[in-house]
Amino acid sequence: MANEDPVKIPITHELDLHTFRPSEIRELLPEYFRECRKYGIFRVRVIHGKGTGALREGVHRLLEKLPEVESFQYPADAQSGSWGATWAFLKPAESDQRE
């Protein structure tokens, strides 16, 4: 039987999706962004790679729908991965907005 324990990944301003399956991003991105916001991280570089574009398109469709995402920038600047990455800009957590 496979071990189904969640994989703990460090919460930083960067999320590299190369080790994840495209079917996992629907749950991964909102959870990761929720943790980023808890730590005061509001600018996240999502590395999806260049490839066929399927993963990038899935990431962008999800970013458009997530309420915690204020905006996103694609492609990232040349120093940040260019066509292989997207910057996601997150809204502050609701408790931060009320203060």
Fill in the DSSP letter of residue 66. -
DSSP string, 34-93: HHHHHTT--EEEEE--SSSSHHHHHHHHHHHH-TTEEEEESSPPGGGTGGGEEEEEEPPP
* Mean pLDDT calculated for residue range 78-87: 92
- Rounded to whole angstroms, the Cα distance separating 41 from 65 reads 19
Average pLDDT, whole number, for the chain? 89
30 pLDDT higher than 80: yes
- pTM metric for this prediction: 0.85
Asked whether the predicted pLDDT for residue 66 surpasses 90, the reply is yes
User: Distance between CA 99 and CA 76 in Å, rounded?
Assistant: 32
Residue identified by tokens 């590395």 is 47
Domain 14-91 has CATH 3.30.2270.10: no
Q: How confident is the model at residue 38 (pLDDT cuts 50, 70, 90)?
A: very high
pLDDT at position 98 is 45
pLDDT at 75 exceeding the cut of 70: yes
**What pLDDT is stored for residue 96 in this prediction?**
53
Every domain of the chain and the residues it spans: 14-91
Higher pLDDT, 63 or 51: 63
Confidence of residue 81 (pLDDT cuts 50, 70, 90): confident
